[in-house]
Amino acid sequence: MSGAATEAGRTLAMGQDEAVGGGRQSVEAPFGKALARLGQNRPDIVGLTADLGKYTDILPFRDAFPDRFFNVGMAEQNLVAVAAGLARTGKVPFATTYGVFATRRAYDFVAIALAHSNLNVKIVAGLPGLTTGYGGTHQAIEDLALMRMIPGLTIIDPCDATEIEAATEAIAERHGPVYMRLLRGNVPVVFEAGYRFEIGKARQLRKGSDVGIISTGFMTERALDAADALRKQGISAGLLHVPTIKPFDAEAVAAFAAGVSHIVTAENHVVVGGLASLVVETLFDADIAKKVTRIGLPDRYIECGAVPTLQAKYGLTSEAVVAAIIALG
């Protein structure tokens, strides 16, 4: 894949890799490979895309099971409707497109055609948050907020290649509609083999007494690096990784928050309606009064540019997490 993503100042061409971090080993197309493996023993799994198969890593499944793969063209409402119909015949459709289209464009279909009937469809959505330099048309910066309003929808924001593979297996196993964010291309490996993903469960990755970071998606990788860097500076930062946005592990979040003096949330998403809002709601419900600092995107559309430039500008880096925590004093 192209190295453009690591060179600030270069604009990404369509389809180039938006690798989410440097310095780690990576796996190419972890989602598509996991789905193709699953397909061998699961004849009920079918794949769909809306003219973005190449860009959502689902081609390994298509190549293995061409009779169980359908490209509906640029028609995201129909993508979801067709998936719903397939589910009604007992299939387990995995439908891919970009997050912006799965949410803004096909919302009524996700809500009514899928969730209202609790159909067993998995929507896997590329370009979450700030993983493309294509600007507001392609950056799904508010998808978690939109989707968490849909009753019964499971929502997952995985951190790395290991978690994507594990989550793909887990959502295939669990009946019901799912929206999963997809990191595509060469995806870093943050968690070691054997990492256990469980739908609806948060995982404490670091213990700390000064500050508690609660993160989701690729921001967990940044937060891990930040926690390690802070430790060298004598700051003890705990870290709770929350890959499932819905159902939200409020119990784990409340327990984690109770043990630290200050909470920092970190998400690849606007700071309204997503993880930060969930954490604040959870603390309120649990009667926990703690200061919360929110790291994430502002409530505005983001411009075009190279991904590293944009991520640095909008604070989605480990350096930004370190700086925010040091600034707490």
Binding site for other proteins (CB under 8 A): 46, 67-68, 70, 72-73, 75, 77-78, 80-91, 93, 108-109, 112-113, 116-117
Burial of residue 327 (CB within 10 Å: 0-12, 13-18, 19+) is exposed
User: Going by DSSP bridges, is the β-strand pair 92-98/122-126 parallel, antiparallel, or unpaired?
Assistant: parallel
Give me the least distance between CB of 82 and other proteins, in Å please: 4
Give me the least distance between CB of 92 and other proteins, in Å please: 11
Give me the least distance between CB of 51 and other proteins, in Å please: 12
For the chain, where are the E strands, in sequence order? 26-28, 45-49, 69-71, 92-98, 122-126, 154-156, 178-181, 186-188, 203-206, 211-215, 237-241, 244-246, 262-270, 291-297
Compare residues 63 and 108 and give the one whose CB is closer to other proteins: 108
Contacts of 67 (CB under 8 A, 6+ apart): none
Give me the least distance between CB of 110 and other proteins, in Å please: 11
Residue 155 to residues 214, 229, 286: CA-CA distances in angstroms? 17, 30, 22
Give me the least distance between CB of 134 and other proteins, in Å please: 23
Compare residues 113 and 324 and give the one whose CB is closer to other proteins: 113
Compare residues 75 and 250 and give the one whose CB is closer to other proteins: 75
Compare residues 94 and 314 and give the one whose CB is closer to other proteins: 94
Compare residues 19 and 83 and give the one whose CB is closer to other proteins: 83
